[in-house]
Chains A and B, each alone.
Chain A
Amino acid sequence: MSRNVLERVLWQLSVERAAKERFRADAGKFLARFDLSEEERQMVIEFDVSALQRLGVNPMLTMGFWQELSPTRDMALYKERLGASDEQRAAFSAALKG
């Protein structure tokens, strides 16, 4: 089940320093050892947190992965990538910025 593999990958990338370093050095190479489809690999490489959540990945992991490894780590952008509505953006808090 893809969700299980994706959660394994994202958990490692959230908590394991060596995994983070390997991912930063060459994300494609790091992901090659996992049983993921090409589409799923792209979701991880492109930080497509919305698609990952649609596959059932725990939001705590998508958030942790984003905060650890995304280029900007910006939580406003994270919510944007999740498709936040205007109302949800308006409810946005100072705590989530940056």
Chain B
Amino acid sequence: MGKIVGGFWMPHDPVMFVAPDAPPQEQRDNVWGAYEVCARRMAELDATAAIIVGNDHYILFGTQCLPRYLIGNGDVDGPIEALPGLKRGVISNHQALAQHIVAEGETQGIDWTVARSFSVEHSFAIPHQLTVQAAERMLGRSIPTIPVYLACGVDPYISFKRAGELGRQIRAAVESFDADERVVIIGSGGISHWVGTVESGRVNEEFDREILAHGVNGDLAALCAYDDADILERGGNGAMEIRNFACAMAAVPNPRGEVIAYEAVPAWVTGLGFLQLFSQESAQ
């Protein structure tokens, strides 16, 4: 029987790679260092597989097809964008587990859109390269990683209700999986950020800390209670990505969280929060 042994929330800010020297040194150190802390903790969890819940930014999916939720269960590579410091390459996927999530989902009315081949973009690649690959180096072995993409950047957005259901279904599938997998799930997203709008560069620390508090408390209901107008006003269009946090938190049994780092970084146009989700059931 497999197990979700924990989770993380972490950002995927491409501006970090485009303008690495823009913020004050202390902020840079805290943010880059937070990815290292997450990697170390992932290695300490002895993860054998990972799932990264990200979202497209109108790069992968065009107007002809906008999936609400998608899983990559075959050939995976990327990232598709050329960002300085991110390497493009083949990504080790856990096809058996991904296929099991799809099959188990069908028994629960969760009809995943499946990508048999998939090129990820930065919302997967940044957590993967900075945390999963770093944990792989610490452990000296591969951590096959499954991409899940939720519609948070392009409407029609996935509902919070569905994001939570997907997390719970992922957990059920992991627990009914044959092998003794230890799975870590990562919700990838910035907190407040305005992407491509006139407010770009604004960061709302009050909103960001409110969201992180929901993670600390393991309060999925509170996280899922925001309406889109409120998010857009207080967190910007980029903050729709807290749906990825909801999915990851729902996958962790009886979760509680610990903030690893938070920085409000206008120079990187985002409120950047790092949080570890612990399963209270695992601790008992």
Contact = CB atoms under 8 A, between A and B. Distances in A.
Given A11-B58, A58-B58, A79-B200, A95 B18 contact: yes
B22 A15 contact: no
A88 interface: yes
Given A4-B63, A61-B58, A62-B196, A91 B202 contact: yes
Interface in A58-98: 58-64, 79, 82-85, 88, 91-96
A82 B198 contact: yes
A88 B62 contact: no
A60 B196 contact: yes
Contact of B237 (A12, A15, A59, A96): A59
Given A88-B201, A92-B201, A93-B201, A60 B195 contact: yes
Which of B15, B153, B155, B266 has the most C-beta atoms of chain A within 10 angstroms of its own C-beta?
B266
Given A83-B198, A95-B19, A15 B62 contact: yes
Interface residues of A, number: 27
Nearest to B15: A95
A81 to B, nearest CB: 9
A93 B58 contact: no
A93 B269 contact: yes
Nearest to B57: A60
A7 B63 contact: yes
Nearest to B64: A8
A91 B153 CA distance: 23
Given A15-B62, A95-B15, A60 B198 contact: no
A83 B198 CA distance: 7
Contacts of B18: 95
B125 to A, nearest CB: 16
Do most interface residues of chain B lie in helix, strand or loop, or is the interface mixed? Answer: loop
A63 B196 contact: yes
Contacts of A84: 198
Given A4-B63, A91-B201, A94-B22, A58 B154 contact: yes
Contacts of B57: 60
Given A59-B237, A63-B195, A96 B63 contact: no
Nearest to A81: B198
B245 interface: no
Contacts of B200: 79, 96
A60 B15 CA distance: 14
Contact of A95 (B154, B196, B237, B268): B268
Interface in B161-218: 195-202
B198 A79 contact: yes
Nearest to A16: B62
A59 B269 contact: no
B261 interface: no
A3 to B, nearest CB: 9
19 contacts: A7-B63, A8-B63, A11-B58, A12-B62, A14-B58, A58-B58, A58-B154, A58-B155, A59-B195, A60-B58, A60-B153, A60-B154, A60-B195, A82-B198, A91-B202, A93-B19, A93-B269, A94-B22, A95-B18
